[in-house]
Amino acid sequence: MALKGLDIFKLTPKTNCKDCGNPTCMAFSMKVAQGAISADKCPHMSPEALAKLSEATEPPMKTIDLGGHKLGGETVLLRHEKTFVNRNVFSVKLRADMTDEEIDSVLEELKAVDYERINERMYAECVCVDCGEDKARAAEVIEKARSSGRVLIVKTRDAELAASAKAALILGADASNWEAMNEAAKAAGSVLGVSGESLAELHDTVEKLEAVGNKNLVLDLGTGDAFKRAVQIRRAALKDGDRSFGYPSVVDTAAIAPGDPVLQSELAALFVVRYGSVIIMDRMTYAAALPLFGLRQNIFTDPQKPMKVAPGIYPINGAGPDSPCAVTVDFALTYFVVSGELERSGMPVNLLITDAGGYSVLTSWAAGKFSANSIASFFAEQDIENKLTTRTLILPGKVAVLKGEVENKLPGWNVLVAPNEAVQLVKYMRELKI
Amino acid sequence: MSFEPKLRAYTAPVFTVEVGSGERKMTLGGESVQPLCFFDKPDQPAPLIGVEVSDIGFETEGLPELAAFYAGADTLAARAVKAASLPGASFVCLHFEGADPAATNKSVEDCVAEAKEAVAACPLPVVIAGCKNIEKDTALFTALAEALTGENLLFLSAREEDYKAMGAAVALAYGHKLGAESAVDINLAKQLNVVLTQLGVASSSIVMNLGAAAAGYGFEYVASTLDRVRSAALEQQDGMLRMPVVTIVSAEAWSVKEALVSEDDMPEWGPREERGIQMEAVTAAACLASGSDAVILRHPVSVEKTAALIAALM
- Residue of B38, B274, B282, B306 to mutate for A, most A C-beta atoms under 10 A: B282
Contact between B278 and A287 using a beta-carbon 8 Å cutoff: yes
Confidence at residue B79, expressed as pLDDT on a 0 to 100 scale: 98
Rounded average pLDDT over B223-231? 97
CA separation for the pair B215, B223 (Å, rounded): 10
CATH top-level class of A63-299? alpha beta
Confidence at residue A344, expressed as pLDDT on a 0 to 100 scale: 84
Closest partner residue to B282 among A239, A245, A269, by Cβ?
A269
CA separation for the pair A26, A379 (Å, rounded): 62
Contact between B282 and A265 using a beta-carbon 8 Å cutoff: yes
Chain segment B256-289, per-residue pLDDT in tens: 989 999 999 899 999 999 999 999 999 999 999 9
Burial environment of residue B136 by CB neighbours within 10 A (0 to 12, 13 to 18, 19 or more): buried
Instruction: Establish how many alpha carbons lie within 13 A of residue A241's alpha carbon, considering only the half-sphere containing its beta carbon.
Output: 7
Q: Is residue B260 within 8 angstroms of chain A, CB to CB? A: yes
CATH top-level class of A5-57? mainly alpha
Contact between A227 and B313 using a beta-carbon 8 Å cutoff: yes
Hey, is A122 helix, strand or coil?
strand
Contact between B269 and A288 using a beta-carbon 8 Å cutoff: no
Contact between B231 and A294 using a beta-carbon 8 Å cutoff: no
Higher local confidence (pLDDT), A14 or B283: B283
Beta strand residue intervals within A244-320, DSSP E: 249-252, 278-281, 312-316
- Return the residue of A nearest to B231 by Cα: A78
Q: Is residue B220 within 8 angstroms of chain A, CB to CB? A: yes
CA separation for the pair A242, A384 (Å, rounded): 58
Chain segment A248-298, per-residue pLDDT in tens: 999 999 999 999 999 999 999 999 999 999 999 999 999 999 999 999 999
Partners of residue A313 on adjacent β-strands:
A352
Q: Domain locations in chain A?
A: 5-57, 63-299, 312-431
Chain segment A314-334, per-residue pLDDT in tens: 999 999 999 999 999 999 889
Q: With contacts defined as CB-CB under 8 Å, which chain B residues touch A236?
A: 3, 5-6
Rounded average pLDDT over A39-52? 84
Q: With contacts defined as CB-CB under 8 Å, which chain B residues touch A286?
A: 268-270, 275
Chain segment A205-248, per-residue pLDDT in tens: 999 999 999 999 999 999 999 999 999 999 999 999 899 999 99
Contact between B102 and A79 using a beta-carbon 8 Å cutoff: no
Burial environment of residue B101 by CB neighbours within 10 A (0 to 12, 13 to 18, 19 or more): exposed
Q: Concatenated DSSP letters for B101-127?
A: TTTT---HHHHHHHHHHHHHH-SS-EE
| Helix and strand totals (H; E) in chain B | 11, 10
Contact between B305 and A266 using a beta-carbon 8 Å cutoff: yes
Chain segment A53-91, per-residue pLDDT in tens: 777 777 889 999 999 999 999 999 999 999 999 999 999
In total, chain A counts a number of residues equal to: 434
H or E stretch at A381:
helix A372-382
Contacts of B229 (CB under 8 A, 6+ apart): B186, B189, B208, B210, B241, B245, B291
Contact between A336 and B309 using a beta-carbon 8 Å cutoff: no
H or E stretch at B188:
helix B186-198
Q: Is residue B216 within 8 angstroms of chain A, CB to CB? A: yes
Report the alpha-carbon angle A159-A68-A294, nearest 5. Answer: 110
Higher local confidence (pLDDT), B1 or A413: A413
Confidence at residue B1, expressed as pLDDT on a 0 to 100 scale: 63
Q: With contacts defined as CB-CB under 8 Å, which chain A residues touch B103?
A: none
Q: Is residue B23 within 8 angstroms of chain A, CB to CB? A: no
Indicate the pTM of the whole model: 0.90
- Fold assignment, A312-431: Rossmann fold (3.40.50)
Q: Is the pLDDT of residue B298 over 70?
A: yes
Q: Is the ipTM of this complex over 0.90?
A: yes
Work out the minimum CA distance from A383 to partner chain B, whole angstroms: 30
Closest partner residue to A266 among B2, B275, B285, by Cβ?
B285
CA separation for the pair A380, A80 (Å, rounded): 39
Q: Is the pLDDT of residue A1 over 60?
A: no
CA separation for the pair B6, A219 (Å, rounded): 18
At residue A365 the predicted structure's pLDDT band, cuts being 50, 70 and 90, is very high
Chain segment A389-418, per-residue pLDDT in tens: 999 999 999 999 999 999 999 999 999 999
Q: With contacts defined as CB-CB under 8 Å, which chain A residues touch B256?
A: 340
CA separation for the pair A292, A268 (Å, rounded): 8
Instruction: Establish how many alpha carbons lie within 13 A of residue B182's alpha carbon, considering only the half-sphere containing its beta carbon.
Output: 25
Confidence at residue A183, expressed as pLDDT on a 0 to 100 scale: 97
Contact between A287 and B281 using a beta-carbon 8 Å cutoff: no
Contact between A299 and B36 using a beta-carbon 8 Å cutoff: no
Rounded average pLDDT over A164-170? 97
Residue A21, number of CB atoms within 10 A of its CB: 11
DSSP state of B171: I
At residue B92 the predicted structure's pLDDT band, cuts being 50, 70 and 90, is very high
CB A272 within 8 A of CB A231: no
User: Does B19-313 carry CATH code 3.20.20.20?
Assistant: yes
Rounded average pLDDT over B243-257? 96
Q: Domain locations in chain B?
A: 19-313
At residue A2 the predicted structure's pLDDT band, cuts being 50, 70 and 90, is low
Give percent of chain A above pLDDT 90.
78
